[in-house]
């Protein structure tokens, strides 16, 4: 036991004496979460839109006014013909065009349903979806108000509902995403680098030629980074709740527990990488290419997995971040309990066991 | 009882296409309490041999034992009882002298206090700097600390792989004095080194070159096996002298050696006058020529040449 | 008429409070083999870096190949060659590729490179190895090749930092023969080593202790002055007094 404590103490010494790296480890999550959080909300704010009002009646004007007044949109162009729409999009100055058919208010009042056409530039599908959703929300707000005044329900029907994130706050997606990314980076990369460094400076040879058990070595290497990663989880949550106003709807304890599970998966990945690489540089490259990229691309928080081609959807299943992302969304945003995430948790646990078994088997008690 | 026994060890590296023979059929034994030197240049196979004996590498064929334990089957016992200082051994640069020592003691399940008397003589020299980071120590100091770390668990056999490479002459001398002290405490020590002059400090040495042991004996016996008469020659222009001596019809070998060239004549000729005459014709000034005692390096080079001739 | 190629006066380099090189003065002549000895941490590397134009001195003056170490470092680099035990050749390039690369750095023309390549490979008896990767060569060969590459552009001075560490005794002597030949061609050789017998091969030797040059003379004169039988003893007498414990 004493052996173990001294080894862990030594690892913490390495970490605390490398001030620059320590600073990066502690500040990175904060910077990332703020950057992602605000970058996203900024993107949607004050989007320029164009309006083709063929109705020119009270209702269409009211909706245009509301769109313009909202903080998301800015009506920059009033169009006259259908042909102008394409010109406006091609100029690249607008994100959305809103088209009212003639007799909009008439249809709304007499036939009880009316149509608004929302045209978005789908070359950037994420923004397009968000922007149309925002506009649809504003229209439905107007509709609700109308309904409040009269008996018969008027229906302007944009059939999109925003579940759980009614204001469509981007941070709701990014907090779980950044958490997955940071944890993969810190836990997996740092662990692998810490082990490979011992190979590089030849201390590994001495450690191998000693009665030190491989399990003890691996555990002592992992524990400091598990601890640091937990610190990161706490800072990320703090920043999200205070600065980005993303509440923790579910159980904090469950969230921490699931985070710990994911950290263990990430550390196991790091251990596996350390058995495959010889230099710190290799370990870093490997971690970046094999862990960070899949996390970003296939983790589900940057690009929706549902809209990916089948092969990518299948591959995404082996990316641990995907499962963690789902868990955090369920627990933190939707406020669900363990019963909703047990499957994902089981998958992560299985992955960890598998990776640990491999790295343990591959861990060499000799050189070469 | 042998502290180390090596039988017909072979080790090759590389893929099928390109193999490098690091050790070809090596056999030797080291007695208990012996200070045994393995002397040879880079690439001789010293490190591979040490790694096999410290159970870090597996040999392709052959057997070896340390303290009667087999390096293959009983590697755990060996790991409990040997001390090892790898080549270019770097301690943890970001930890202090004391922290390094404490750490290495703990991984062997012991403490600095428990074995202090073994390392005391060495440790007192670095103790004034015990709160300094290892990365900030000079080469000689680092080496002393590394030795302490390798000794702290009271090993019965100590393996030191090139401990003096890149270290200045003063620190090298001090290091060998420390080894002699350790020998008195009954520890078997195997040291490898590329410096031929260090052979004289060992009880016995193995001269290694290209994966083979060329000779194995006490330094004195190795030198006495140098069966030729050796001359030391010098003049005003040493490089021209070297070239002229090499061109001399009766020269078998001629090598620079400090301020003299070491000359061996063909058929063990001892005709000094003929050489002097030849050199005077070549207009060398202030020629000095005297019989010389060969040293280990002379022997090493002779053995190297003999080996080349045979192959 | 002797030509001075390195002239150093009161050269000093400080890192904070630490004086790595302390008021060092010496001169080296053309074609001389100058041994630059000292214990680990005595300040050799710092001094050598200043002379190679890699580090600006704190005070004092020095010219190398006639150029000032403060203002004309680029000219210095054109006129010197450098080789060390740690950095010499690219291990993953072939012998030929390494020669071509280094010759190219110094702006030699294609024809010159071709001629030099042939003669160099012949001199080193490495023609058969021209397409082998450098990492597959024995250390001694690498070092000989590295030295030949370092003087390929016919520099005025070549700096050698522990060039023979770990090399076998036969190859070590072959290496020194290359040094002698370079010196005969008029290239000044500035060399550091831990092998004391190699100190004897130098025309003159300086010994640094704690940042200062404590002795500078021919090996023979040094032995007389210090009443010693070998350079080893001279070195030990001087370096034993060293106070420094850190690099």
Give the nearest chain C residue to B126 (CA atoms).
C245
Q: Which residue has the higher pLDDT, A47 or B155?
A: B155
B216 and B150: one domain? yes
CATH of the domain at B242: 3.30.70
Residue C43 clears pLDDT 70, i.e. is over it: yes
A116 and A23: one domain? no
A50 and A116: one domain? yes
Averaged pLDDT, C137-165: 90
B128 and B254: one domain? no
A218 within a domain of the structure (yes/no): yes
CA A170, A171, A176, A182 dihedral sign is positive
A34 within a domain of the structure (yes/no): yes
B242 and B216: one domain? no
CA distance B121 to chain C (A): 18
Residue C84: CB atoms within 10 Å = 17
A206 and A319: one domain? yes
pLDDT tens, position by position, B195-248: 998 999 999 999 999 999 999 999 999 999 998 899 999 998 889 999 999 999
CA A333, A334, A339, A345 dihedral sign is negative
Residue A82 clears pLDDT 50, i.e. is over it: yes
A57 and A189: one domain? no
Single residue among A123, A156, A189 that ends a domain in this structure: A156
Q: Checking phi first, is residue B249 left (phi over 0); if not, alpha (psi -120 to 50) or beta?
A: alpha
A209 and A269: one domain? yes
A228 and A276: one domain? yes
Q: How many domains does chain C have?
A: 1
Nearest to C167 among B42, B132, B239 (CB): B42
Put simply, the answer to whether C41 touches B167 (Cβ < 8 Å) is: no
CA distance A150 to A145: 9
Residue ranges making up the domain that contains B283: 231-293
A238 and A331: one domain? yes
CA distance A150 to A154: 9
C196 within a domain of the structure (yes/no): yes
**Is A272 in a helix, a strand, or coil?**
helix
A4 within a domain of the structure (yes/no): no
A107 and A72: one domain? yes
CA distance B143 to B89: 9
A22 within a domain of the structure (yes/no): yes
Q: What token pair was written down for A276?
A: 């495959």
pLDDT value of residue A91? 79
Residue B137 bridge partners (DSSP): none
- Measured at the CA of B105, the angle between CA B116 and CA B171, to 5 degrees, comes to 65
Tell me how many residue pairs between chain B and chain C have CB atoms under 8 A apart.
107
Single residue among A102, A124, A156 that ends a domain in this structure: A156
A172 and A74: one domain? no
A316 within a domain of the structure (yes/no): yes
Cβ-Cβ contacts under 8 Å, B108 against chain A: 210-211
Are residues A332 and A244 in contact, defined by beta-carbon separation less than 8 angstroms? no
A216 and A144: one domain? no
B138 and B209: one domain? yes
Residue C66 clears pLDDT 90, i.e. is over it: yes
Put simply, the answer to whether B79 touches A10 (Cβ < 8 Å) is: no
Put simply, the answer to whether B99 touches A201 (Cβ < 8 Å) is: no
Residue C55: CB atoms within 10 Å = 18
Cβ-Cβ contacts under 8 Å, A7 against chain B: 103, 106-107
B171 touches chain A (CB under 8 A): no
Least confident of A271-285, B233-247, C230-244: C230-244
CA distance A319 to A335: 24
ipTM of the complex: 0.84
Averaged pLDDT, A185-189: 88
CA distance C52 to A248: 62
Put simply, the answer to whether A203 touches B91 (Cβ < 8 Å) is: yes
- Measured at the CA of C123, the angle between CA C122 and CA C126, to 5 degrees, comes to 55
B12 and B31: one domain? yes
CA distance C36 to C235: 12
Residue ranges making up the domain that contains A50: 46-156
CA distance B147 to chain A (A): 12
**Is A38 in a helix, a strand, or coil?**
helix
Cβ-Cβ contacts under 8 Å, A368 against chain B: 57
Are residues C199 and C216 in contact, defined by beta-carbon separation less than 8 angstroms? no
C177 touches chain B (CB under 8 A): yes
Query: Where does chain B have alpha helices with state H?
Result: 46-53, 75-81, 97-107, 116-126, 139-151, 169-184, 219-224, 238-247, 272-281, 296-310
Q: How many domains does chain A have?
A: 2
In which order are the strands placed within the sheet that holds B35-39?
B82-85, B157-161, B188-193, B35-39, B204-209, B212-217
Put simply, the answer to whether A212 touches B107 (Cβ < 8 Å) is: yes
A2 within a domain of the structure (yes/no): no
Residue B32 clears pLDDT 90, i.e. is over it: yes
Put simply, the answer to whether B170 touches C138 (Cβ < 8 Å) is: no
- Residue A70's nearest CA partner among A127, A131, A138 is A138
CATH of the domain at B58: 3.40.50.300
Q: What's the mean pLDDT when you consider all of chain A?
A: 83
**pLDDT bucket at A164, cuts 50 / 70 / 90:** very low
CA distance B41 to chain C (A): 5
Put simply, the answer to whether B94 touches A6 (Cβ < 8 Å) is: no
Residue ranges making up the domain that contains C85: 4-239
What is the 3-class SS of A122-168, one letter each residue?
Answer: CCCHHHHHHHHHHHHHHHHHHHHHHHHHCCCCCEECCCCCCCCCCCC
> Rg of chain C over CA atoms, in angstroms?
18
A218 and A175: one domain? yes
Are residues C95 and C126 in contact, defined by beta-carbon separation less than 8 angstroms? yes
B44 touches chain C (CB under 8 A): yes
Q: Checking phi first, is residue A304 left (phi over 0); if not, alpha (psi -120 to 50) or beta?
A: beta
Nearest to A203 among B75, B80, B92 (CB): B92
pLDDT tens, position by position, B72-122: 999 999 999 999 999 877 789 999 999 999 999 998 889 999 989 889 989
B183 and B249: one domain? no
A14 touches chain B (CB under 8 A): yes
A226 and A326: one domain? yes
CATH of the domain at C23: 3.40.50.300
């Amino acid at each position: 036991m004493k052996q173990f404590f001294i080894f862990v103490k030594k690892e913490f010494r390495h970490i605390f004496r490398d001030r620059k790296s320590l600073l990066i480890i502690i500040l990175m999550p904060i910077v990332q979460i703020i950057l992602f959080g605000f970058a996203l909300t900024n993107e949607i704010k004050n989007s320029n839109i164009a309006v083709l009002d063929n109705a020119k009646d009270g209702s269409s004007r009211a909706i245009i006014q509301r769109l313009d007044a909202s903080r998301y949109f800015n009506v920059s162009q009033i169009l006259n013909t259908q042909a102008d729409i394409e010109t406006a999009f091609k100029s690249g100055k607008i994100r959305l065009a809103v088209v009212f058919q003639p007799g909009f208010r008439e249809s709304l009042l007499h036939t009880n349903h009316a149509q608004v056409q929302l045209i978005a530039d789908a070359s950037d599908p994420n923004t397009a979806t968000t922007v149309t959703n925002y506009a649809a929300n504003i229209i439905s707000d107007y509709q609700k108000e109308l309904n409040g005044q009269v008996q018969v329900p008027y229906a302007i029907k944009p059939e999109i509902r925003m579940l759980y994130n009614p204001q469509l706050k981007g941070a709701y997606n990014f907090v779980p995403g950044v958490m997955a990314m940071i944890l993969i980076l810190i836990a997996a990369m740092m662990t692998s680098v810490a082990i490979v460094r011992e190979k590089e400076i030849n201390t590994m040879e001495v450690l191998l030629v000693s009665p030190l058990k491989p399990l003890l070595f691996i555990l002592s290497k992992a524990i400091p980074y598990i601890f640091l990663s937990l610190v990161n989880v706490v800072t990320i949550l703090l920043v999200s709740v205070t600065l980005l106003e993303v509440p923790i709807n579910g159980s904090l304890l469950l969230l921490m527990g699931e985070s710990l599970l994911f950290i263990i998966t990430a550390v196991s990945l790091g251990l596996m990488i350390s058995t495959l690489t010889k230099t710190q540089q290799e370990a870093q490259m490997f971690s970046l290419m094999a862990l960070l990229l899949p996390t970003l691309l296939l983790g589900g928080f940057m690009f929706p997995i549902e809209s990916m081609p089948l092969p990518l959807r299948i591959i995404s299943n082996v990316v641990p971040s995907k499962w963690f992302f789902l868990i955090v969304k369920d627990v933190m945003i939707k406020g669900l309990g363990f019963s909703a995430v047990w499957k994902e948790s089981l998958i992560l646990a299985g992955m960890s066991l598998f990776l640990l078994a491999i790295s343990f088997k591959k861990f060499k008690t000799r050189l070469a | 009882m042998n502290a180390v026994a090596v039988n017909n060890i072979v080790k090759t590296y590389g893929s099928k296409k390109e193999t490098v023979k690091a050790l070809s059929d090596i056999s030797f034994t080291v007695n208990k309490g012996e200070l045994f030197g393995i002397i040879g240049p880079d690439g001789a196979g010293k490190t591979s041999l040490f790694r096999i004996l410290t159970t870090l590498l597996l040999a392709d064929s052959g057997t070896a034992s340390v303290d009667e334990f087999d390096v293959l089957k009983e590697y755990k016992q060996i790991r409990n009882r040997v001390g090892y200082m790898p080549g270019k051994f770097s301690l943890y640069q970001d930890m202090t002298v004391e922290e390094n020592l404490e750490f290495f003691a703990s991984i062997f399940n012991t403490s600095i206090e428990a074995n202090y008397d073994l390392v005391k003589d060495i440790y007192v020299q670095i103790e004034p700097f015990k709160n300094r980071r290892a990365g900030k120590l000079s080469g000689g100091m680092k080496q002393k600390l590394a030795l302490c770390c390798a000794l702290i668990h009271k090993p019965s056999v100590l393996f030191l792989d090139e401990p003096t490479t890149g270290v200045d002459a003063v620190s090298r001398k001090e290091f060998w004095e420390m080894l002699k002290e350790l020998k008195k405490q009954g520890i078997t020590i195997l040291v490898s080194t590329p410096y031929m002059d260090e052979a004289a400090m060992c009880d016995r040495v193995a001269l290694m070159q290209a994966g083979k042991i060329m000779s194995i004996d006490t330094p004195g016996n190795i030198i006495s096996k140098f069966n030729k008469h050796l001359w030391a020659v010098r003049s005003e222009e040493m490089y021209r002298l070297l070239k002229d001596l090499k061109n001399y019809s009766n020269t078998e070998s001629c090598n620079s050696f400090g301020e003299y060239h070491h000359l061996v004549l063909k058929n063990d000729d001892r005709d000094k006058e003929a050489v002097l005459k030849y050199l005077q014709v070549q207009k060398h000034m202030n020629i000095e020529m005297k019989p010389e005692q060969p040293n280990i390096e002379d022997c090493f080079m002779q053995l190297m040449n003999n080996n080349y001739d045979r192959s | 008429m002797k030509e001075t190629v390195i002239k150093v006066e009161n050269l000093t380099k400080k890192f904070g409070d630490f004086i790595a090189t302390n008021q060092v003065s010496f001169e080296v002549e053309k074609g001389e083999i100058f041994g630059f000895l000292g214990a680990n941490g005595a300040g050799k590397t710092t001094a050598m870096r200043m002379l190679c134009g890699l580090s600006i001195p704190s005070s004092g003056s020095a010219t190398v190949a006639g150029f000032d170490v403060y203002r004309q470092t680029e000219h210095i680099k054109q006129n010197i060659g450098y080789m060390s035990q740690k950095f010499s050749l690219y291990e993953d390039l072939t012998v030929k590729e390494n020669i071509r690369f280094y010759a190219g750095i110094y702006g030699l023309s294609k024809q010159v490179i071709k001629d030099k390549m042939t003669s160099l490979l012949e001199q080193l008896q490495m023609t058969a190895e021209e397409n082998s990767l450098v990492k597959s060569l024995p250390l001694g060969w690498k070092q000989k090749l590295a030295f030949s590459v370092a003087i390929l552009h016919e520099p005025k001075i070549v700096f050698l930092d522990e060039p023979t560490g770990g090399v076998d005794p036969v190859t070590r002597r072959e290496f020194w023969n290359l040094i002698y030949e370079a010196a005969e061609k008029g290239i000044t050789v500035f060399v550091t080593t831990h092998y004391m017998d190699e100190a004897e091969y130098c025309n003159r030797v300086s010994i640094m202790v704690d940042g200062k040059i404590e002795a500078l003379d021919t090996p023979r004169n040094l032995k007389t002055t210090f009443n010693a039988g070998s350079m080893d003893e001279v070195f030990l007498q001087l370096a034993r007094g060293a106070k420094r414990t850190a690099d």
